A and B are shown apart, each in its own frame.
Chain A
């Protein structure tokens, strides 16, 4: 496959590349650990991103979390980590502690974890249009970055969102991770025409298809798209070509729809090894740095794991507390009856 990675945005500094390497290793380690946590019964389920680290870390890294706002799906752990979201609070969704995560989406600028595929793509457009309506100077306006898969791109909401955003010139970056699969359905049976990016042309907006396994290409393309949107030139579609290695979720059995051999040959080069090789060859990192990065990742995972172990179920009254800002009498009565009749008090 040939990718047309954009080249306009400046290359990354050596410091940035080292930071990206650390992030990739951290996310890889946390992701594979989370699968193990599920097998050990610590969490009931998890949606791994094994193979998508460069697409996630690279795009999340390009975001300015003080200005921009990110709308994830259920698989954006790497984005969340790159944005600096508290990982224990993030993992609380996977521990079934709270839908959407315990982190504060208003503060972190990462919308709650979204289980409905394409559910939040339109929210990004609304949020972005709000930036236009804010009347702030262009450089102070945020850009909405919305994630969705190749499967999700079949949803009508994605098409409505692209059309709305293009008509309104809303500052949105549609970041599609084409990981080859929507559970068991391959892209060729999912995306007519084979390309999500190609659809942008129909909406009269910019698009780019990039090598989603090349973290540097992802950072540069995302920065360029964000700059474009922030400058008031309208939305952009990025289709990051990547590959979901392993299962779709911890309850998936990929052996039913592809072989390990397919996975090896279609998956291409591993995004983490790829950056390691490049940076080693360029003399930007050395073996000591590599070892140290892995140690740091392990320590971080250990502390997150402890945090997840310590996560207690939320007090039952919270089930009632967050339905409304102004709860109804009926709901208050249900909460009171629950308190009286349950042993949880």
Chain B
């Protein structure tokens, strides 16, 4: 499967939505009337709108990367932005990720707010040197005189049957790096507000977009963000806390729905920020439910699930009724499309994990 097939598959998916060609038009759709508070849109449209408004609000914002200009990005997240804001504000770069991220550093030094894009998660690897050695350290190295207000957008995680390197789960890698913040939205509402928030912060944020959710629609309250910091309980429950982020949040909500049929009330916590992790939010939820399962797509060993489990046991050891369970990907390279469903935590695996925790008895 080539990148072309990926892109055209996505085009097909896009056809199912009512998003229109240009940003101008889609903004009209977005605002059916001045009074409407919420509106339904896809995550792609929400991200696009957030970028458009950020460009409008802050003349120092610049968007760049591979194919983000005329094409609007292979996922169309920057669709129409070059037409609207010009090729100085939204521009295509040569095909070199280290170049894109290294250039972001210099632009930040010159007072700009770069919002670079790497086309797919797996292509952040060639830029790791600049991300870790430079972006994560420049504020420190310069004793706070050279902030790095960079929001790196990374289409992330699997679930779209893409070829190798087009679906990866890099959150633990980024979260481990001092000087970086990491966030992943789970819905169009979160996408819109978290991106607008990230792009106005003075510190570097790795913004991990769950690409399998780009075309899913949801309600967005454009006026009321709610809290943009910490985690969020997206479904309350009392028997067990499911902790997830990005694309896994929707799956966990499905699981909670199924479990409810058996009378099990599961609380789903959307972690949102993967650095800083909302320790307080985790503790509050688990103190109530006394049981926790963490779900992530990334490989298990040294994954973020380990960090979450450690935070929970530090804070809730006395109240826990069972050890924290992790349902994760495996310690293998992210497999190609056909094996993806075996790799990404599915409903059954999550349910088994929940069962193990519910039935846990001290030995």
Contacts and interface: CB of A to CB of B under 8 A. Distances in A.
B142 A100 contact: yes
Contacts of A262: none
Contact of A130 (B107, B133, B276): B107
A331 B276 CA distance: 9
Interface string B224-236: 0000000000000
A152 B102 CA distance: 15
Interface stretch (A10-18, A24-32, A104-112, A292-300): A104-112
A123 B276 contact: no
Contact of A129 (B103, B129, B144, B277): B103
Interface stretch (B1-9, B26-34, B108-116, B343-351): B108-116
B81 to A, nearest CB: 16
A99 B102 contact: no
Contacts of B146: 105-106, 111-112
Interface string B276-316: 11011000000000000000000000000000000000000
Interface residues of A, number: 46
Interface in A323-342: 323-326, 328-331
Interface string A56-80: 0000000000000100000000000
B88 A322 contact: no
A105 B145 contact: yes
B20 interface: no
Given A164-B99, A167-B94, A326-B202, A124 B106 contact: yes
B142 A127 contact: no
Contact of A127 (B98, B107, B144): B107
Nearest to B99: A160
A122 interface: yes
B333 interface: no
A330 B88 contact: no
Interface string A133-149: 11000000000100000
Interface in B89-130: 93-94, 96, 98-99, 101-112, 114, 129-130
Given A102-B143, A160-B94, A123 B109 contact: yes
A105 B98 contact: no
> Chain A binding site: helix, strand, loop or mixed by DSSP?
helix
B276 A126 contact: no
A98 B93 CA distance: 34
Contacts of B142: 100, 104-106, 111-112, 322
B100 to A, nearest CB: 9
Q: Assign chain B's interface to a size class.
A: 35 or more
Contacts of B280: 329
Given A125-B102, A157-B98, A326-B203, A112 B141 contact: yes
Given A106-B145, A119-B133, A328-B276, A125 B103 contact: yes
Nearest to A115: B133
Contacts of A318: 143
Interface in B238-253: none
A130 B106 contact: yes
B140 A126 contact: no
Question: Among the interface residues B133, B137, B179, which one has the most CB atoms of the partner chain A within 10 A?
Answer: B137
Contacts of B110: 69, 126-127, 130-131, 134
B196 interface: no
A156 interface: yes
A184 interface: no
B272 interface: no
12 contacts: A100-B143, A111-B146, A119-B134, A120-B105, A126-B103, A128-B106, A129-B107, A164-B94, A321-B144, A325-B147, A325-B201, A329-B280
Across the A-B interface, give the 5 residue pairs with the lowest CB-CB distance, nearest first: A126-B106, A122-B102, A130-B110, A100-B141, A328-B276
Interface of A: 69, 98-100, 102, 104-107, 111-112, 116, 119-131, 133-134, 144, 156-157, 160-161, 163-164, 167, 318, 321-326, 328-331
